Amino acid sequence: MNDVRTIAVLGGGTGAGATTLLVALAVRAHAAGRRVGSVDADPCGGGLDVAFGIETEPGVRWEDLLGSDGPLDGERLVERLPAGDNRPSVLSFGRQWCTVADELFERTLSGLRPVHDLLLVDVGRQLATPETVAGYDELILVARGTAAGFAAAGATAHRIDRVPQLVVRGAGQAAAREAAAALGMRLAAVLPTDRRLAVDAERGVPAGSRPRSAYVGECDRLLRDLLLPDAAAA
C-alpha cells in the first residue's frame, strides 16, 4: 500500500475560500505528478465538480453510489469518475440532493486510499463535527483575514474539538501570525488576494491553473509542507 496522505479542508466561516484552496492544491499536486483524488463531503456546497469546471463531464457522482455494498474497487471507481483534460479525479455531489451514510463514505475513502498519493476532502462547515474530522492526517482550516473571519475560525475549531492548521486569506503576514497565536493554531499559509480566481471560476478554469501567480506560489509551498510534514516542522 502507498503512503497516501489524507487531508481535510474546512472553511472557518462563509466565503472563507476552502473549496478554492482544495482545488488549487489538487491541481498543483496533479501537475507535480501525484495521484490526486478530491472528495466532496459537503452536500450543501453546490458540487465540487463545479469548482473544478467539470460539472458537465459524465461520470459517477455520490448519488450513483447509493445502495452499493461491500468493498469498493478504487481503481475501477477512479476510472468512472469525471475528470477534465489532465486534471485530478473528483468524487462530487451532483445537482440532485442526497445523503451519504457514514458507512458508505468511509468505505469509499477506504477504496480510494490505496490508489492515490493524496486525498483531499472538502468538509462542509455546517456538517463538521469531532467525528467527521477525525482520522485525517491533516486538517486545514481556512479563514478570511478579517476580525469576523478569525472569530468564525475560532468558533469552528472549538466546535470540532481539534486544533487545525490555519490558512488565512487576504491579510498581512503580521496580522495572520497574531491571529494564529491568539487562536492557538499553527499558521500554515497566508494566501494573497487574487481577483482572477473569481473570473477563472466563471469560465470553468479551476484554481491553481496559473502557475506564476502569487496565490499558486503559496499553495505550492503549503503543498510541500503537507506532503513532507517532518521537513516542514524542522
Average of pLDDT values for 146-170? 94
Residue type present at position 36: V
pLDDT, tens digit, 9 for 90 and up, residues 20-69? 999 999 999 999 999 999 999 998 888 999 999 999 999 999 999 998 88
Domains and CATH numbers, the chain: 5-228 (3.40.50.300)
Q: Which residue has the cell 487545525?
A: 164
84 pLDDT higher than 60: no
